[in-house]
Structure 1
Amino acid sequence: MADGKSSFVYVTYIRTTPDKLWQALTASEFIKQYWFGMNCESQWTAGSAWKLVSRDGEVFDAGEILEASPTRRLVIRWQHQNKPELRAEGYSLCTMELEVIGTVVKLSITHTIERDNSKLIEAVSGGWPKIMSNLKSLLETGAIALENPYPVESTVSGQA
């Protein structure tokens, strides 16, 4: 991108209520179910610290909540922590917007960073669809879609 910014946008429609979706996005025990055992730790209020922590306590991302409008909008500013090349890119901004449309809630995630060709944005563009597919499935059916964030892909017949 020529503007010195990289971004990724993901939109999904979930058959749920804004209250249930907000709880799913902010309740630790629920997050662990769809985020492959990872946990987001925060007070979920503007100015509070935020971090993404693995099952074994390793902090993957850390930052702060910039905006928290329950059932409507959540904005998190964070920096990756455990891969030096991603950490070096600095802070990214993740905005989650919830909008009721009939019997569903439209969830839009916009993840940006102030740099061209960001490796962090490349990484999250592979992660968000898996995480949000699990969230959608869990809210709608009671079960996640993917057990493993890196499932073994099937090969096309006749190809190695």
Structure 2
Amino acid sequence: MTKETTSFVYVTYILSTPEKVFEAITKPDVARRYWGHENVSDWNPGSEWQHVRANDERTVELVGKVVEIAPPTRLVITWAGASQAADPASYSRVTFAIEEYDTMVRLTVTHDELEAGSGMAKGVKQGWPAVLSSLKSFLETGRGIDLSAKPKSA
């Protein structure tokens, strides 16, 4: 029996260049400034990547492999929680498509092959909008947003 899957697609427009957007995703010292994590890899097809919390503990929270890379317009990686790394069925896929769009960049992030109803699918639905908003703010203003912010009470 195959698992039911779901996908998440997020499109945002950023006043930046494809090179800067690609660098913000793949360079650990840049990603930590808007994501609070570093994406660590040598970024070659087939190579492993790790999503490492940018604090003293340096906890590896996500893992995967580089499926496809074509700087500065495309990156495809597999994605799983570090605690589920040994289970091939736990992996999903993330595609970053970076396109020049007039004087800006259109970034489309597609996270698919997610198990429907899973904790990962729920986390992705909440996490990507905040992370990508922070990326946009960082590239446009030099400052990311507070990813730990909570809604104010009504």
TM-score by length of 2: 0.88
In structure 2, give the amino acid aligned to 1:150. S
1:96 aligned residue: 96
The DSSP-based 3-state class of the residue aligned with 2:100 is strand
- Structure 1 stretches of 4+ with a deviation exceeding 3 A read none
Gaps of 5+ in 1: none
1:27 aligned residue: 27
RMSD across aligned C-alpha pairs, in angstroms?
Answer: 1.8
Pick aligned residue for 2:153 from 131, 155, 160 = 155
2:5 aligned residue: 5
Identity %: 35
In the TM superposition, what whole-angstrom CA distance separates every residue of 1:65-86 from its partner, at most 9, and x where no partner exists? 000100111000121124x6xx
In structure 2, give the amino acid aligned to 1:70. P
Gaps of 5+ in 2: none
Structure showing greater radius of gyration is 1
The DSSP-based 3-state class of the residue aligned with 1:113 is strand
In structure 2, give the amino acid aligned to 1:28. P
User: How many residue pairs end up in the alignment?
Assistant: 148
Using a 3 Å threshold, how does the CA distance of structure 1 residues 114 and 12 change in structure 2: closer, same or farther?
closer
In the TM superposition, what whole-angstrom CA distance separates every residue of 1:80-100 from its partner, at most 9, and x where no partner exists? 124x6xx79610100110111
In structure 2, give the amino acid aligned to 1:154. K
CA distance in 1 between counterparts of 2:150 and 2:122 reads 20
Q: Tell me by how many angstroms 1:114 deviates.
A: 5.2
1:66 aligned residue: 67
